[in-house]
Amino acid sequence: MREDQIRRMVRRVVYRTLGRSPRSTTTGGRSLVTESDVAAAERDATLDVPPGALVTPLARQLAMERNVELRTQKPLDPRNPGAGSRVRNSGTPARKRKVAIGADHGGYELKEKLKRCLSEWGYTAIDCGTDSSESVDYPDYAFAVAQMVANGNVDWGVMIDGAGIGSCMAANKVPGVRASMCYDQATAANSREHNHANLLTLGAGLIGNGLAKSILKTWLDTPFGGGRHAKRVKKIDDIEHRYLRSAVPVRG
């Protein structure tokens, strides 16, 4: 099959899953942004996404390939509908949000680059180390970032090691943390919208700097979807609370 045929097939599946026809423009009152919308935008451009819109995985992938920024619009204030002001993250209030960021030796260089990105995007980055490329143990830094998140000292956490897997495991041992390892924009959006992730882990050895930046931006820009997802996230938290109450040791 040709690539365009595959895209059309996937698009039909997405529409059917969302319970809408290909000719409609909204689903359940929420707009849908598809790969066609991204394809219509110029390369290296910014595409404004309506508040609460659903962005398909193909649209996110094409945006990454074309270096198109998907920017969430700020909802109009009903008291001042003519304002029309837009912000980079519709979920970010006026105060600067704090992000704890850490890395082991394998993720040190990427951490330094992403710290600068966070500052450019208007966030306050709290550096939890490491401070050089000398060999260290990733669980120590994953724990430091996770503690900041669990204690409410920051809004979100980011941890970077060689593959992102070990740090995700370590961070998820801290009660109150929902860490997600993401390797593209689709997993970043899903982990936030569906799973209410509050800590992102990245594998510096698996992804490049540009992709890491896109993943982090998507992750921060995507709000939790609530609704049916809230019930499922609560069940995740309930599992954690069950083990905390019983204090049953887990054996490998």
Residues whose CB falls within 8 Å of the CB of residue 177, separated by 6 or more in sequence, listed in order: 146, 149, 150, 157, 171, 198, 199
* DSSP of 98-134: EEEEEE-GGGHHHHHHHHHHHHHTTPEEEE----SSS
pLDDT at 114: 98
pLDDT at 80: 47
pLDDT at 247: 59
Q: How far is CA 44 from CA 71, 236, 241, in A?
A: 13, 39, 45
The model carries a pTM of 0.66
Average pLDDT per consecutive 10 residues, the chain (252 residues; last block may be shorter): 67 58 47 79 80 74 76 56 38 70 98 97 96 97 97 96 98 96 95 97 96 96 92 94 71 50
Task: Render the burial of 22-40: b for 16+ CB within 10 Å, e for the rest.
Answer: eeeeebeeeebbbbebbee
What the chain holds in terms of domains, given with CATH numbers, is 3-72 (no CATH), 98-225 (3.40.1400.10)
Report d(CA 91, CA 231) in Å as an integer: 21
Catalytic residues: 194
